[in-house]
Each structure stands twice: as C-alpha cells, then as structure tokens.
Structure 1
Amino acid sequence: KENEEGFVEYVVTNSKSEKLTGKFSLGKINPFQTKLIHFRDFIHDLAGFLGEEHGAISLKHNFEGFYPRFLVGNIQSSFPSVSFTHSYYDCSNCIEDTDFWNRINKKHYDSSVYVPIFNKEKQFTDLMIYPNFSPSDFSLKINIHEKNGNVVFTKENFLGINQSNKKLIKINLNKILDENKLSDNFYAAHIITEFKENKIPSRIKFGLNVGVKGLESKLPCNICFNTKMGNPLLENKSGSFHWAPIFPHRNAIITLGNFSTIKDYKKDANIELNFYRMNDETSITKKLFLGANSEERIFINEHEDLKEFLSNEGWVTIKADNPYIEGYYFNMNKSGSVSGDHFF
C-alpha cells in the first residue's frame, strides 16, 4: 500500500538510560519499496548521545500495509562488516489483560531462558534487557552451569527491575565468571524471572550480544528472543523439533541446552541431528545424549566428516524426545565479526 507521508517518532535510550526523543519524515513510500534509514542522518548528534556505548531505539510510525518488523543493525565503515537482526515489539504501553500471562503454577518458574556464555580470550557475552515490556516488576535469578550440568554459580535476586524506572540494562556475563574465578572457555546460563503480584507479561524480550574484542571487526551479534513462559501444558509434549542454517567457512558453532521452567528439573534428552547441504539430497546423522541442565556445543570445523560434507551452505535439523531443548547457532569469523541467532 502506498504511504503518502511516512512519519516516524523515536525514543533513543543510551547506556546511562538517558532518553533522546524526536521525529522525522521519510516522505512518500511506494508499494514494495525498500527504505534504508541511517539514523545518524535523521537524529542530530546521535553518536555524541550514545558516547561510543550501546543503546536502543523505539519507533512509532504511521505506515500502512506494513509487516511490523524491521531489518535493523549496525554497519562498520572502518572495516567492511555488518551485523543485522530484526526489530521487536515495544510492549511498554500494552496493559490489557491479554498482554499478561495468566498461568501461575508453583512447579514452574514464571519464565526462563538458556543462553550460552563464550569465555575464551577476547570473547564476550552480554545479556541485554530492554525497556519495552508491559508494565511490571520482577527480579532475575541467574544460574551458571558447567557443560555437564553442575551449578557453579547461583544468585537468587541478581537484579531487580522496576516498571517505574525504565532502564536499558546490560549484564556482563563474563564479569560474573571472572569475579567467581570460573575460567573454562564455555558455560551455560539459565536466566530465570520472578514477577511481582503474579503480573507476568506475555512477551519479555531479551537480547544476547556475543562478540570478540581487539580484532578488525567491532560488531558482535545481537540475538532477540523471548523468555519461555512457565507453561505446565508443555510437559505433555513428546518432544521438540528445530532447525538452523550452517555457514561452514565462517567457523560455525551450534549450541544446545536442556533447560526448563520446571524448578526441580531432571528430564534428560536424546537428540538426533540431521545435517543437509545445498549440493544434493544426502545427509549426515549424529545422535547425542543431553542431561538435564546441561549443554552441548558442536564446532563444525572440528568434525572432519561435517567439514568435508558441508563444503557449501547447509542446515541442520534438531529432533529431541524432550520439549525443552533450546539452542543457537553462531559464526565466529576471523575478522572478529560474529553472527548468530536462536534456533527456528
């Protein structure tokens, strides 16, 4: 649909949670037209406001006939590289009953999510919490696990978040490891929410930034995801199925986590991974066992059969006899650029 005058209002939040507001016009937008918006061209002194630190932006627009997602990201000019993800809904004004989760079950956490931590030299892993969820107060609990499921760090009330103080929050997961003398290359974090007054938003958006310091590309990946609701009906599912793309010449890594909203979680998983390639219809199958609260990582370049088989782009399917399997895929490029996303 044609838009005679594309109009945008914005709120930029910097790392200090200061706000910068304004508006701009994009002019006429034709049907099927693509508009590339460089915010620095529309927002005065954006770089100065951000101060070479992270930030976030919320947009309100008048577009019609428009799918409500943007392709968003960062472009580095000093070294040719890009980092793209998709936008997410701003639910900060969503206050209807349907905007909140009404399943309260003492067996389950309100919501939780698994994230991998990369802790090799120069690697960093940050968890981002954006001020875009429905008005509510909650606290975060963080458990950090070794590969085999052992808990090496736990903090009940790691962080309190108040609806009246909308902050952009970055949790440096590597700093937690350093402070607790945890020096392995890889850990898994289980992020758990506890909401006040049983008021649980149905959408709780976090972000995962994984990157490498000190190399030519300065761009980490930014993965958007929702925490998993504590839904007791999920226990009735017999299993789960996911898939992810693989780009073998970019140091591809797959991470799988067996974590649940169930408080006393003990369910193991048998997982079948089927790898496919663009060249033909052949495949490679691998099977693994994943204990409760544990993680497995597959480095494609360390498997000679996969490295030879995936000479071009391919993909993997993940079939499990457990409904709680989650995962991510990453590409750790030599330049320092990192791309990734959650399983689909």
Structure 2
Amino acid sequence: MKSYHKHLESTMAAGETVSLTRRPVFRSSAIFPVLHSAHYSSRVLFMGYWLLKRRIPEVQMLVTLRGEEGPVLLRKSLLITEPKAFALRVGDLLAETALGSTGANFTGSLELEIFATRDLVYPYPAFVLNYYGDEFMASVHTTGRVYNDIEDLQENEDKIVPECGFDILSAEEYAPFFAFVNGVYTYDNPLIKWTIVDEHDWAHHGEFVLPPVPAYATRFVKLRDYIDLGAVLRGGKGTIKLHHQFRGFFPRFVAGNFEQHRHALSITHTYYDSSAVTDAGAYWGNADERFHDSAVFAPLFMGEGEYTQLVFYPIYSPSAFGISLEFYDEGGRRVGTVRDWRHLDLHATPDQFFTLSFNEVIAQHFTPEQAKQLRGVNIVKHWPNREQIPTRLKFGLNIGRTGRAMNLPTNVCFNSQIANAKVLTKPGTFKWSPILDGDHSVVVILNGSPLKEYATPANLQLSFYREADNQTLERAALLPPFGQLRIEVNQDVELKEFLGGHPGWVTIQADNPFVTSWYFDFNESGAVGGDHAF
C-alpha cells in the first residue's frame, strides 16, 4: 500500500510539491478478469479522455486477451486519436481468436496498456469493467494492474495489508466471490488467511489454500467453496479481510456476489485494510475551521421500492469520530439534519461492520412529505482529536430495489473527502462518466463540499460522446450548492436518440473543484449496477 500523502505527491494533486525524483508515467495499464457465457458477457468501456484532460494528441493501446491459465489468445493495437466512446467486447474479441464459437463459456483476462510520449500522470487508466446480461448490468472502475517497473512495485508494496471492503451476502441464492489476474510470478499453492466480520461485530478466522496460480492466470474464488458461510453468518451479511501472498501486481480485487438462480452478479472492488496501520502517514490533521474534518455528498434513491444504504467497514486506522447527516432536495435546499447519528470508537472496538439505512433514518426524522423531497445527503464526520483523521476513509454505497425478482444492489466503494485547503486553489474540475445502455440508466452530477459554509454554485459544460462517430451533444447547466442534476436516458429523448441504444460518455467541465458524479443502471429484475465516475 502506498501512503495517501505519497499518492497526492505522485499524481501531482492540487498544491502538492512535485518531487525532483518523480518518474513520469508513459505506460498506464489495467488487467481485468472477464467472463463470457450464454447468460452474460463482459466488456470494457472507455473514452479518449487523454486528448481532453491531458491535451495528448494520441495514445496507443495494446489489447491482450488471455485464457484462464494465462496463455495469450489475441493481441491487437489501437491508435486512439479521438475523444469518442469505445467498447471492447469479450465476445467480439473471442470471435477473432482460434477459439471462435468454442469460447462460449470463457474465463480469462483482458489487459489494456496505454502508451504515450507525454506524461500520463496516473499509472492506471480510467476504464470501466462491465459485466452484463438480460437481467443485470454491473460495473466497476479499473482494479488490478501489472506494475510498470521496480519503483512502481516498491512504492505500492511499501506496506503489505489485507484487502477488504465489500459485502458478503450469505443467503443461499448468493455466491460471494473475489477475482483477480495474477502478475508475472507463479504460486504453487497460495495461502489465503481470512477474517469475516459479521453484523454483530464478531470476527471469525480461518484459512484456505488455492490451487496453483500460474503467471497471468485468472481466478474467480467463490467463498462458499472454502468457507461454510451459513455457519459463520447464519444468513446475514458480513465482510471479509483477505490476507494474501500475491506480489508483483496491484492486488485490487474485483469482488461481489453472484445471484445463482438468475445468472446475474453485482461487483465492486476490494480496498486496503488499514486497521493495523498507525504511523504518521495513516493520519491527516485539520486545523482549518472552514472545513469539516471529512465529508462526502452522495445521492439518495428513495422512490417506491428503492433503498439507499451506507456501509462502514472494519478497515480504518484506529481513531474515534462522530457522524452527522445533512439531507438536501434536488435544488440544494437543506431539508433537515440528523446530528451525531452515531459515534465510533475504533480504539475500543476495532472490528465494526455496520450498515446505515437511510430509509430508516429518514422515516424516523422526517415526515412523508419531507421524505419525498430528499435527493442527496452530506455525510459529515468529526474527530475529537483533529490530528488523528484517517487518510483512507472508504465506504460502500448500496442502492437497491425490493419487491422484484431479485434483490441485487450496488456496493460502490467510494471515499470521503478530508479537509484539504489546497483544493481551493483549483479553479475548477473535469469529470467524466459512462452512460450505460441498460433498462434505466441514470447519471447523477453533484455539487457538494466539505466546507462548513458552502455557498458556491457550479457552472457546467456537458459534452456527450457516442461509439458511432466523433459527433458530440453539448449542453450547459447550473448547479446550486448541494444541488444535483440527474440525467435519465429513458426520459431524455434527444440523448436517447443520440446514443442509439449503445453506451456513451458525458464529460463535465465545471468552474468549481467540488463537483462529483455517479452513474447507475436499474434493471426491472431488481438488479442495480453503478459506480462513482472519474
């Protein structure tokens, strides 16, 4: 794990001093575990954002499709000279290989490498892994990658910590899993030590051994094959810490739950377990009274049969903090506040795993008429010891539907913004989000901030891109503070016609550094997919 302070420095974040020894990034890569079957398939979605964000006129992409045990099946090169939408579909790539139609039940990997003659800054590109079928559409951003060089490896393996931070659904219809693509090293019988924390904050421990993992092999590890989840979780929800031995690749696993009865799945990614990390790099101080110690503004979906949850995982460096909730309508008007909703003391009880149900909190504190207005929540954290704010604050955003054929929510891994006055030096921000082509695709653009007295609107210039050509659709919007804009494809005739039934992208140029974005797809089956945007 690289420290958060080092991450800010290496990615040249606002106000950071660039080290004289910083190595420019000329190769940016990702490697994804992919599936293709009669029931579902995989694709990677991206746009030529390098041309817009970095002003790089062209980049070269090397595409490598590998089989489950690591053999190369296909290599091809793409020159990207347009900021349009792209999709690499595993079914199409398989058709180009010797497997052809015999690859109907395929497990393997897709590695995408971006090369440029100018600094790409980030060694991992903004790609979206999308598993999709008739009844679901699940997405997550770039996860694993093979390191560029020894310096890249050493920085990211500065601390070896477990991976955690996703929900295990233990009811019999679900099969929780994690998946990864190995790097250059071979492992004969890798040992995985695990800790499962349940909803009662009880920790259960064990270990299992995986079969051999050759170089570049893909592994989908179903936890039920190694752990009696029924005995451990008794039908409830939990999370797992994975103590692994893998080196040489960035071990950010794809993780989630298969819905076994209806051939669907939900995905997210794992995250660092920092619960044992207590050095100076694990914390951030806040002496600036203009800022909350940490806050994040998130969308709420509270329509009929919808629910929104926030999940806290046992992965934070030890500290004690309180949580308050500020609720807003779509126009940014604060409807109400729930102060000191909960206090956590991670010194006394480190293994805390719990789910905040916004439906329950809203029902307790708001009238039905008020509840109908709520579209966003500012989740504010405050520390009595303001020198002990953990730098790694990741949560899960679960948005789902009840009363449908299945209940398969999102489990979006996202971070909370810590107080950082250097962000105020930025004149604006550039964001970009995929627009999915499922049953009901929604992009949510938010204007929220960790500033206590936040009153800055955001002027937005929106550009929509499609696969078919390099034509764009242009729009402008104004977001009030704590306001939001929801782009719903099915209700937007112009946009729906422009995209032509295929995925697309929207770029968001804002004159305000606090604008963020999310995207979702609501399937009529009850499956909900989505992630935060870039």
TM-score (norm: length of structure 1): 0.97
Q: Which moved more, 1:13-22 or 1:224-233?
A: 13-22
1:198-277 map, 5 Å: 198=386, 199-277=388-466
Q: Distance in 2 between matches of 1:235 and 1:265?
A: 12
Q: Distance in 2 between matches of 1:208 and 1:32?
A: 31
Residues 310 and 395, structure 2, Cα contact 8 Å, conserved in 1: yes
- 2:525 is aligned with 1:335: yes
Q: Distance in 1 between matches of 2:479 and 2:372?
A: 19
The one-letter code sitting in structure 2 at the alignment partner of 1:183 is: A
Q: Distance in 2 between matches of 1:124 and 1:295?
A: 19
Residue of structure 2 equivalent to 1:167: 352
DSSP-derived class of the 1:196 partner: coil
Residues 190-235 of structure 1: CA deviation (Å, up to 9, x unaligned): 0011012121011111110000001112210110011011101101
Residue of structure 2 equivalent to 1:178: 363
Residues 327 and 343, structure 1, Cα contact 8 Å, conserved in 2: yes
Please, which of 283, 287, 290 is the counterpart of residue 107 of structure 1? 290
Residues 248 and 301, structure 1, Cα contact 8 Å, conserved in 2: no
Q: Distance in 1 between matches of 2:475 and 2:361?
A: 34
Residues 69 and 88, structure 1, Cα contact 8 Å, conserved in 2: yes
Residues 462 and 475, structure 2, Cα contact 8 Å, conserved in 1: yes
Q: 1:204 to 1:219 in 2, by over 3 A?
A: same
Tell me the C-alpha RMSD between the 2 structures.
1.2
Q: Distance in 2 between matches of 1:125 and 1:105?
A: 32
Task: Using the TM superposition, give the Cα deviation of residue 103 of structure 1 relative to its aligned residue in structure 2, in angstroms.
Answer: 4.1
Task: Using the TM superposition, give the Cα deviation of residue 256 of structure 1 relative to its aligned residue in structure 2, in angstroms.
Answer: 1.4
The sequence identity of aligned pairs, in percent, is: 32
Q: Distance in 1 between matches of 2:529 and 2:374?
A: 18
- 2:377 is aligned with 1:189: yes
Task: Using the TM superposition, give the Cα deviation of residue 104 of structure 1 relative to its aligned residue in structure 2, in angstroms.
Answer: 2.6
Residues 214-270 of structure 1: CA deviation (Å, up to 9, x unaligned): 111221011001101110110110101111111133311111111111111111100
Q: Which runs of 5+ in 2 are unaligned?
A: 1-184
Residues 251 and 333, structure 1, Cα contact 8 Å, conserved in 2: yes
Residues 242-300 of structure 1: CA deviation (Å, up to 9, x unaligned): 11111133311111111111111111100111111111111111111000121221111
Residue of structure 1 equivalent to 2:211: 27
Please, which of 304, 309, 325 is the counterpart of residue 126 of structure 1? 309
The one-letter code sitting in structure 2 at the alignment partner of 1:16 is: H
Task: Using the TM superposition, give the Cα deviation of residue 177 of structure 1 relative to its aligned residue in structure 2, in angstroms.
Answer: 2.0
Residues 438 and 522, structure 2, Cα contact 8 Å, conserved in 1: no
Task: Using the TM superposition, give the Cα deviation of residue 82 of structure 1 relative to its aligned residue in structure 2, in angstroms.
Answer: 0.5
Q: 1:154 to 1:185 in 2, by over 3 A?
A: closer
Q: Which runs of 5+ in 1 are unaligned?
A: none
The one-letter code sitting in structure 2 at the alignment partner of 1:231 is: N
Q: Distance in 1 between matches of 2:264 and 2:236?
A: 18
Give the number of the structure whose alpha-carbon radius of gyration is greater: 2
Residues 61-108 of structure 1: CA deviation (Å, up to 9, x unaligned): 111223120010000112221101111110101111011113431110
Q: Distance in 2 between matches of 1:249 and 1:203?
A: 33
Task: Using the TM superposition, give the Cα deviation of residue 50 of structure 1 relative to its aligned residue in structure 2, in angstroms.
Answer: 2.1
DSSP-derived class of the 1:330 partner: strand
Residue of structure 1 equivalent to 2:114: none
DSSP-derived class of the 1:224 partner: strand
Residues 136-158 of structure 1: CA deviation (Å, up to 9, x unaligned): 11001110011111211212211
Q: Distance in 2 between matches of 1:241 and 1:297?
A: 18
Residues 329 and 373, structure 2, Cα contact 8 Å, conserved in 1: no
Task: Using the TM superposition, give the Cα deviation of residue 186 of structure 1 relative to its aligned residue in structure 2, in angstroms.
Answer: 4.6
DSSP-derived class of the 1:296 partner: strand
DSSP-derived class of the 2:265 partner: strand
Q: Distance in 2 between matches of 1:16 and 1:219?
A: 22
The one-letter code sitting in structure 2 at the alignment partner of 1:15 is: E
Residues 335 and 374, structure 2, Cα contact 8 Å, conserved in 1: no
Residues 17-44 of structure 1: CA deviation (Å, up to 9, x unaligned): 2221100111321110011100011112
TM-score (norm: length of structure 2): 0.63
The one-letter code sitting in structure 2 at the alignment partner of 1:104 is: A
1:245-324 map, 5 Å: 245-311=434-500, 312-324=502-514
Q: Which moved more, 1:179-188 or 1:205-214?
A: 179-188
Q: Which moved more, 1:57-66 or 1:262-271?
A: 57-66
Q: Distance in 2 between matches of 1:79 and 1:292?
A: 42
Residues 150-172 of structure 1: CA deviation (Å, up to 9, x unaligned): 21121221110111212111111
The one-letter code sitting in structure 1 at the alignment partner of 2:359 is: N
Please, which of 181, 187, 192 is the counterpart of residue 8 of structure 1? 192
Task: Using the TM superposition, give the Cα deviation of residue 185 of structure 1 relative to its aligned residue in structure 2, in angstroms.
Answer: 6.2
